[in-house]
Amino acid sequence: MTGPDFSHAQEAITQGATRVAGVDEVGRGPLAGPVTAAAVILEPGNVPDGLHDSKKLSAKRREALHDALMTCAEVSVAHASVEEIDELNILRASHLAMERAIAGLSTPPDIALIDGNMIPRGLTIPARSIVKGDAVSLSISAASIVAKIRRDRIMWDLAQQFPGYGWESNAGYPSKTHKEALQNLGVTPHHRRSFKPVHNILYQEKSVSD
């Protein structure tokens, strides 16, 4: 199976770019927690071996690659909160996290390679969207790994504060354990109230109280 390569970034470099950022987000599907984005600028000739779509890597391999990227690449991580997700919708909140991650780089990149089929509307730099970019672009693969690790760490910390939902293993996604805990333990401040399973429980509670 062919893995990601540097061709998309190299194409931008041949067109005059010197700083090419790969950008990806993690956490659109969970019922709880923020959505997290990373922007990563790789240094050609100093790219860690084994970069790939974070979903195709083991947890141990992701951790190792994350740590390697923190030493050899420029990395920026940003989030959109549960409140912003509920207010804006998950797509716009995901794009907001991406915009924040790009803005957090030391200086603006010449171009951003964005995972997906849409470019965040708030970007003020050139950008290119790449469908399944985390599987074809090393720059986006790197961003997917960093975003995944950082968000998982947030959810692990929240799991210590709110035990029973299984966030340390399901990262807030709607697993059986998580959905059962929602019914038995209720909704926490970290749940996305606009998401149907959470909204339905809140509506049930309101109906009972009324």
25: annotated binding-site residue? yes
24: annotated binding-site residue? yes
210: annotated binding-site residue? no
Residue 201 buriedness (CB in 10 A; 0-12 / 13-18 / 19+): middle
Contact 45, 163 (CB under 8 A): no
In 3D, which of 174, 161, 154, 135 has the Cα closest to residue 57? 135
CA angle (101, 76, 61) in 5-degree steps: 120
- Determine the distance from the C-alpha atom of residue 89 to the mean position of all C-alpha atoms in its chain, rounded to a whole number: 15
Q: How far apart are CA 171 and CA 151, in angstroms?
A: 8
Which letter, b or e, does each residue of 126-140 get, where b requires 16 or more Cβ atoms within 10 Å of its Cβ?
ebeebeebbbbbbbb
Residue listed under structure tokens 């599907």: 29
| Three-state DSSP state, 183 | helix
Strand partners, 111: 20
Give the helix ranges, DSSP H, for 26-175: 59-72, 82-88, 90-103, 133-136, 138-161, 167-170
Amino acid in position 133: G
Known binding-site residue numbers for a divalent metal cation: 24-25, 115
Known binding-site residue numbers: 24-25, 115
